[in-house]
Amino acid sequence: MKTADRSWMNTGLTVDERVGKLLSQMTLTEKVGQMNQINNLGLDHGDVIREGRVGSALYASSATAGNVRDAGVDLDNLNAIQKMAVEQSRLGIPLLFARDVIHGHRTVFPVPIAQASSWCPELVEKAASIAAKEAAANGIRWTFTPMLDICRDPRWGRITEGFGEDPCLCSRLAASAVRGYQGDDLSDPLKIAACAKHFAGYGGAEGGRDYNTTDIGYRSFRDIFLPPFMAAANEGIASIMAAFNEIDGVPALANKHMLTEILRNEWKFDGVLISDWNAVCELIDHGIVQDKREAAFISLMSGLDMDMVSGTFIAELPSLVDEGKLSIEPVDAAVKRILSLKFKLGLFERPFVDKTLGKKVVLTPENRACALALAQKSMVLLKNDGILPLKKDIKRILLTGEFARSRTELFGTWTLDGRSEETGSVEEALSQRLPDGVHMDVHINYPDEIVRMARSTDVVIACIGEHPGRSGEANSIVSLDLPPGQLERLKAIADMGIPIVAVVFAGRPLAINWLSKRAAAVLYAWHPGIEGGRAIAEILFGDVEPGGRLPVTFPRATGQIPIYYNHKPTGRPLPPSLKEYGRYNDCLDQPLYPFGFGLSYTSFTYEKLEIVKNRIGTDDSIEVSCTVTNNGEREGEEVVQFYVRDCVASVTRPVKELKAFRRICLAPGEKRIINFTVPVAELSFTNINMKKTVEPGDFLFWIGPNSMEGLEGSFRVTVDGD
């Protein structure tokens, strides 16, 4: 085999020049090898590595790694594998090591839907930057996150992995996550390539059944499901993962309109497009190709660059080219994008990872402080009759519930590297925080003993909810009720008039009607990560307030699904009051808790709504403000939200759309004018002619604390603002 001139190693050349020089030296097998990702690549794959038939390695326990722990990633092993690739293959192209670092590596942050509840892009970015450092120090330079699937169906277990139901909130957090993982320079050894997934529409699975068919209308596809991916692409995300699902009969990997016409031609995305696990082969199961050969051909021609673990590209593409059935151009285009990412990551200059890095960046106090802050800001106070924060007259506490002593169950799904000994339970955190003179009993096993003990207590703290094992991938459920057995004992306690503070752990909205009526307080903790126990203790005793606001609508019943705030008016709009005739005979129409909702330990008033101009040109901006006051005796944070409604358009428009938000902190009694400036272009939508445009006309707008409350105003958009 001829030796290469290795001129691509000249760092004085541009990335494109280096890619071109390397590509010109590569054989067909070596090219397709770069497009091949193998799971759990090891030194036992010596031939594949030396022959250049693999470009990337994923480290995952299985096809559904989110809830199946593996042995973790060993840096010495990765460095040894990389050494084999760099020193024993003909061209010495370094491998790109990938792992699902979904919400933290060793410092486990709250699950993504909890992070979305913080409505705090800065903290989401900081958490991603910490996850990047810890993963990079462990040899991982590519993560398959952020997941940007809009979801309106909590039966779908993967709702926990995304940022909720709203395109505006999801888009803002998408950009934050990209900045956190990638920073400004991917060659920074503590930055990693991010991957927006699953492109696209996966969250629309019918019945909430994972991997199921989606039948999304094209306008919804464009205006609801795509914006977060576009935000990630505009932020410079390094890669995107194509989804498993079909949309209206076309599986993602066969959807050239989506993978090439939109992603490449319209958005000018020039990063790497990777398939999901074995998805190339699954085109056969979808029934749109006969065999692997066709599957490889159609997915490459649709726009795919890299084949995640199916082995189909490396098995089929070389012979398709050799037989003249496939031109080399699409192969070269894919390989260029893959090599470009590797050059940008600095892998050719620094293929190995310094073992001493880990000690400096893993589980530092700063990392834990960020995890604590994010947990505190993501927990949502849904109800409080005044019992929280716990007062001085509380002398006896009974802590109970399945999660009272949990450790790793607080991490949530997709926790591949968090460790039990590195976190603490709610019990431990409460015990450390108990004020003098307060006694806490703990009992979680025998319901009759729990009820007996409750009689002599001032408050029961019930840590209940869903186990992370039924959250995440391949974990859809048919009922959003609390898991069996959790309510019965609480009902017995409530019937004795003993106040219950329910702390609910979950990866999705649950239908917590009984709690909303009969508990004294409900704190929705999600799966809050490594500092979750401490965050709960500090919230319950009032050291900090719960800062979360819902990123997804909470239904009263499973039967209400799909239910979301930015719904269409229909020809028979919902009645304004809860009591009037609605859509169901057996359930009120409004959700249990609306998108954007969350209480704090103080209260806020909104007044003096103002708009700078109420006739605004299409090239101009909407400038609105209102005054927010903290009425309480303690400092508090509020997420001020700005919504609009397009009253008349060429197609039906949602009754409300979030267009901006801001988290503020007000001292007791403090008033502050909150301004929003939103370009009119943000009002664009896919119109009757399938064109993204702003249509002049009348709009309503609101500034308020959630999607169901707020001060209302109006403005008109005209062509030139006259």
Listed ranges 57-65, 107-115, 124-132, 545-553: which one lies at the site for ligand GLC (CB under 6 A): 57-65
SS3 for 570? coil
Active site residue 185: no
Cβ atoms of residues 275 and 310 within 8 Å: yes
Nearer to ligand GLC, 163 or 661 (CB): 163
Of the pair 252, 626, the CB lying nearest ligand GLC is at 252
Beta carbon nearer to ligand GLC, 142 or 642: 142
Q: Is residue 149 close enough to count as binding ligand GLC by CB under 6 A?
A: no
Judged by beta carbon, residue 197 or residue 292, the one nearer ligand GLC is 197
**Strand pairing class (615-617; 709-718):** parallel
Residue from the set 126, 133, 155, 197 that interacts with ligand GLC by CB under 6 A: 197
Cα 551 to the center of its chain, rounded Å? 11
Contact region with ligand GLC (CB under 6 A), list: 56-64, 118-126, 330-338, 710-718: 56-64
Q: Looking at beta carbons only, is 161 or 657 nearer to ligand GLC? A: 161
CB of 281 to ligand GLC, least distance (A): 13
Q: Where are the beta strands (DSSP E) in 271-375?
A: 272-274, 307-308
Question: Which residues have C-beta within 8 Å of that of residue 642, sequence separation ≥ 6?
Answer: 624, 658, 659, 660, 661, 676, 678, 701, 702, 703
The least distance separating ligand GLC from the CB of residue 337, rounded to whole angstroms, comes to 19
Least separation in angstroms between CB 70 and ligand GLC: 11
- Among the residue ranges 58-66, 335-343, 531-539, 594-602, the one whose residues contact ligand GLC (CB under 6 A): 58-66
Site string for ligand GLC, 420-459 (x = CB under 6 A): ----------------------------------------
Give the nearest distance from C-beta 144 to ligand GLC in angstroms.
3
**Distance from first CA to last CA of the chain, Å, rounded?**
72
Window of 59-67, 335-343, 497-505, 659-667 that interacts with ligand GLC by CB under 6 A: 59-67
Shortest distance, position 307 Cβ to ligand GLC, whole Å: 13
To 10 degrees, what angle do helices 532-540 and 365-378 make?
Answer: 50
Options 22, 60, 498, 616; binder of ligand GLC; rule CB under 6 A: 60
State the Cα angle at 177 between 257 and 209, rounded to 5°. 55
Among 19, 65, 242, 399, binds ligand GLC (CB under 6 A): 65
Minimal distance in Å, beta carbon 303 to ligand GLC? 18
| Binder of ligand GLC out of 307, 427, 473, 545 (CB under 6 A) | 473
Based on CB atoms, which residue is closest to ligand GLC, 30 or 473?
A: 473
Q: Closest separation between CB of residue 142 and ligand GLC, Å?
A: 10
Q: By the 8 A CB rule, do 322 and 290 touch?
A: no
With beta carbons less than 8 A apart as the criterion, state whether 433 and 541 touch.
yes
The amino acid present at 238, given as its one-letter code, is A
* Number of residues located near ligand GLC, criterion CB under 6 A: 10
Residue bearing tokens 């609801």 = 224
* 144 versus 348: smaller Cβ distance to ligand GLC: 144
Q: Are strands 459-465 and 500-505 parallel, antiparallel or unpaired?
A: parallel
> Which of 604, 608, 606, 607 has its CA nearest to residue 631?
604
Give dist(CA 523, CA 465) in Å, integer. Answer: 11
Instruction: Answer yes or no: are the C-beta atoms of 532 and 410 closer than 8 Å.
Output: yes
CA distance 413 to 495: 35
Q: Which is nearer to ligand GLC, 413 or 566 (CB)?
A: 413
Among the listed residues 139, 33, 143, the one whose alpha carbon sits nearest the alpha carbon of residue 92: 33
Of the candidates 509, 536, 596, the residue with the CA atom closest to the CA atom of residue 376: 536
Contact (Cβ atoms closer than 8 angstroms) between residue 721 and residue 684: no
Minimum Å gap between C-beta 112 and ligand GLC is 12
Pick from 335, 348, 347, 275: which is nearest to 34 by CA?
335
Q: Is 307 in the site for ligand GLC (CB under 6 A)?
A: no
**Residue 276, interface with ligand GLC (CB under 6 A)?**
yes
Of the two residues 100 and 427, which places its CB atom closer to ligand GLC in the complex? 100
Q: How far is the CB of 690 from ligand GLC (least distance, A)?
A: 30
User: Based on CB atoms, which residue is closest to ligand GLC, 56 or 641?
Assistant: 56
Please give the Cα distance from 180 to 334 (Å, whole number): 26
- Looking at 60-68, 214-222, 402-410, 679-687, which segment touches ligand GLC (CB under 6 A)? 60-68
Count of other CB atoms within 10 angstroms of residue 257: 15
Q: Which of residues 343-372 bind ligand GLC (CB under 6 A)?
A: none
Q: Which of 153, 166, 223, 276 is catalytic?
A: 276
Verify binding: residue 144, ligand GLC, rule CB under 6 A: yes
- Please say which residue, 147 or 317, places its beta carbon nearer to ligand GLC: 147
Token pair listed for 583 = 């859509």
Q: Spell out, one character per residue from 80 to 109, where the chain touches ligand GLC: x when CB under 6 A holds, - when not.
A: --------------------x---------
Q: Can you tell me the distance from the alpha carbon of 605 to that of 603, in angstroms, rounded to the nearest whole number?
A: 7
Contact at 8 Å (CB) between 241 and 195?
A: yes
Please name every residue paired with 703 in a beta bridge, in sequence order, or none if there are none: 642, 711
551-610: which residues touch ligand GLC (CB under 6 A)?
A: none
Token representation of residue 342 = 């590797």
> Taking the CB of residue 288, how many other CB atoms lie within 10 A of it?
16
Least distance between ligand GLC and beta carbon 555 (Å): 25
Q: How is residue 664 written in tokens?
A: 């503020």
The residue nearest ligand GLC at its CB is: 144
Counted residue by residue, the chain has a size of: 722
Query: Does 259 sit near ligand GLC (CB under 6 A)?
Result: no
Least separation in angstroms between residue 101's CB and ligand GLC is: 10
| d(C-alpha 605, C-alpha 309), whole Å | 54
| Spatial separation of the C-alpha atoms in residues 609 and 700, rounded to whole Å | 13
Residue from 5, 29, 43, 63 touching ligand GLC (CB under 6 A): that is 63
- Report the residue from 109, 199, 269, 277 that binds ligand GLC according to the rule CB under 6 A: 277
Residues that bind ligand GLC (CB under 6 A): 58, 60, 63, 65, 100, 144, 197, 276-277, 473
Residues recognised as catalytic: 276
